[in-house]
Amino acid sequence: MIKGVKAMNITKANGKNEYELIENLKKRSGETDEKIVEAVTTIINSVKEQGDEAVREFTARFDGIVPRKTVIEKDELNSYLDCVDEDFKNAIIKAKNNIYDFHLRQAQQSWMTTKENGVIMGQRIRGLHRVGIYVPGGTAAYPSSVLMNAIPAKIAGVKEIIMVTPPGKDGNPNPDIMAAAAVAGVDRVFLVGGAQAVAALAFGTEKIPKVDKIVGPGNIFVATAKKLLYGVVDIDMIAGPSEILIVADKSAKASFLAADLMSQAEHDVRASAILLTTSAELARATAREIDRQIKYLERQEIIEKSLNDYGEIIVCENLDQAIDFANELAPEHLEMCVEEPLKYIGRLDNAGSVFLGNFSPEPLGDYFAGPNHVLPTSGTARFFSPLSVDSFVKKSSFIYYTEDELKKAHNDIVKLADTEGLTAHANSIKVRFE
């Protein structure tokens, strides 16, 4: 039952109401249910000990089918480009080009510096050897996530990109996901999903190779497996429910704002969609627009519950107040639907991705523009960054000292080592000059 404008609560910022909202949002990302942790731990241990046999057993149990063919090689991946809608194929190719162009600018070079005294130092940068990408299948199939995860890995110089994705009910892969994998440069795909896929990538099995890092979204079982296996393997992040925060002044259009809020609310009943505006009239108009537009959307029930539980329209005194709140909330997505949005870039310190102006809506970033859509959630934009080329490289420093230069540093190094009580460290220096 649609509740009309009541589906989105309107409050006035007073230094208290808006910050109570943050506390409410934190409750969404509480501790993982102990039963889920226990179930995932069992799966992980079984895969570690029994390998592919355990993977097949869990695939049959959770997906209802074990595909006849479990691996799709690169040549076969390319054949899926002929199996998908031509407009879709053209769209993912255009998106791939934009994503590639943006991330190519993130690539770093190894460097070395030579001083006049003969000392040489530097940093070597190279891609990880092998990376695993998890891609949901079935109804939650996201070809765009394939592009966002694989392309920066490719630019980073990752030697092999492995993808895992659950089989469909017929035992076959989702052709749209396969086509995206081909465009993005994935090397091999294994038709397996769930926590068992994450465990297989972390430990390696007879068929599925061990990887250095696992990236990509998944359900609570996948997220829990990634969390438990961090340290055995590197991961991208533990993603929480999707979030959007919009800052708008009177220049914004209510129909745009309503549409953008609901674009995130449809992800999940725990998704958060918040509007901060300096105009009470715009606040009311946006609530009415939500009521009007929601009737035509397929995920109406999800949107409504999300907006009821974690949505809010807050009327602020001015944009300064709104920006202060935005930095405190540290949202995944931040839209600035204001006059002269570019002037505020330098003040937006905590956000996963920022969308500037009335014609830069969040779905533009999700699918097409180029910046990555794998973003920090649940306030972690205060200290985490979006997925990038840096996520797929490792760095090593190197040092070369001459005998003379080490002799000059001799006393200082020994003093520091002795102060820390590490006499063997000090001896390593002393012995060279006895």
Question: Would you tell me how many other CB atoms lie within 10 Å of the CB of residue 368?
Answer: 17
For the question of residue 18 being annotated catalytic, the response is no
Structure tokens at 373: 């859509």
Strand order in the sheet with 71-73: 71-73, 188-190, 160-164, 130-134, 213-215, 234-235
In 3D space, the residue among 131, 145, 133, 134 whose CA is nearest the CA of residue 99 turns out to be 145
For the question of residue 333 being annotated catalytic, the response is yes
Helix, strand or coil for residue 246? strand
Residue where the block lists tokens 């392309």 = 151
Structure tokens at 193: 């999903």
Q: Which residues of 285-312 are buried (b: 16+ CB within 10 A; e: fewer)?
A: bbbbbbbebbeebeeeebbbbbbebbbb
Q: Which of 333, 335, 362, 373 is catalytic?
A: 333
Q: Which of 266, 289, 332, 362 is catalytic?
A: 332
CA–CA dist 301, 239 (Å, integer): 23
CA–CA dist 77, 85 (Å, integer): 15
Amino acid at 208: I
CA–CA dist 159, 153 (Å, integer): 9
DSSP for residue 342: G
Residue where the block lists tokens 């769209």 = 91
Residue where the block lists tokens 């990880």 = 128
Structure tokens at 55: 């993977």
CA–CA dist 414, 181 (Å, integer): 55
CA–CA dist 338, 258 (Å, integer): 15
Instruction: Give the torsion through C-alpha atoms of 310, 313, 316, 319, to 10 deg.
Output: 90
Beta strands in 115-212 (DSSP E): 120-127, 130-134, 160-164, 188-190
Q: Max alpha carbon distance in the chain (Å)?
A: 86
Q: Which residues are known catalytic residues?
A: 332-333
